[in-house]
Amino acid sequence: MPDLVEGREAPIFAAVLAAGRGTRMRSNRAKVLHTLCGVPMVNYVISATRPLAPEKTLVVVGHQSEKVEAVLPKVTEPVLQREQRGTGDAVKVALDAIDEEEGTLLVVNGDGPLISDRTLSGLIRRHRTAGVGATLLVADVPDPTGLGRVSEDAGVVRIVEDKDASEEEKGISLVNLGLYAFELSEIRDALEETGTDNAGGELYLTDALEIIGRRSRAVTYVLENPEEATLVNDRAQLAKAEEIISRQILDSHMRNGVTVRDPNSTHIEAGVEIGRDTIVLPGSLLRGETVVGADCVIGPQSDIRDTVVEDGAAVEHSVSRGARVGAGAWVGPYSYLRAGTVLAAESKVGAYCEVKNTTVGPESKVPHLSYVGDAEIGRDVNLGAGTITANYDGKNKSRTVIEDGVFTGVNTNLIAPIRVGRGAYLGAGSTANKDIPPGKLAVGAPARVIRDSPNSGNSQTPESGRAKKNGPDGTPDEGSGEP
Which positions are annotated as active-site residues? 368
245 SS3 class: helix
Q: Angle CA(257)–CA(271)–CA(226) in degrees, nearest 5?
A: 80
Cα–Cα distance for residue pair 165/143, rounded to 1 Å: 15
Cα–Cα distance for residue pair 81/418, rounded to 1 Å: 59
Tell me the DSSP string of 280-316.
E-TT-EEETT-EE-TT-EE-SS-EEES-EE-TT-EE-
Length of the chain counted residue by residue? 483
Question: How far is 72 from 43, CA to CA, in rounded Å?
Answer: 7
List strands edge to edge, sheet with 267-268: 267-268, 285-287, 303-305, 319-321, 336-337, 354-356, 371-373, 388-390, 413-415, 431-432
Q: Which of 327, 331, 382 is nearest to 354 (CA)?
A: 331
Which of these, 397, 403, 441, 443, lies nearest to 419 by C-alpha position? 403
For the chain, state the CA radius of gyration: 31
In DSSP terms, which residues pair with 56 in a beta bridge? 13
Cα–Cα distance for residue pair 285/246, rounded to 1 Å: 11
In whole angstroms, give the CA distance from residue 299 to residue 279.
Answer: 8
| Position 366, amino acid | V
For residues 54 and 12, is the Cβ–Cβ distance under 8 A?
A: yes
| Largest pairwise CA distance in the chain | 100
149 alpha-carbon distance from chain centroid: 36
Alpha helices per DSSP H over 194-292: 205-216, 235-255
In the chain, count H helices and then E strands: 9, 42
Residue 99's CB is within 10 A of a number of other CB atoms, namely 6
**Euclidean distance between the first and final Cα of the chain, in Å?**
66
**Three-state SS at 440:** strand
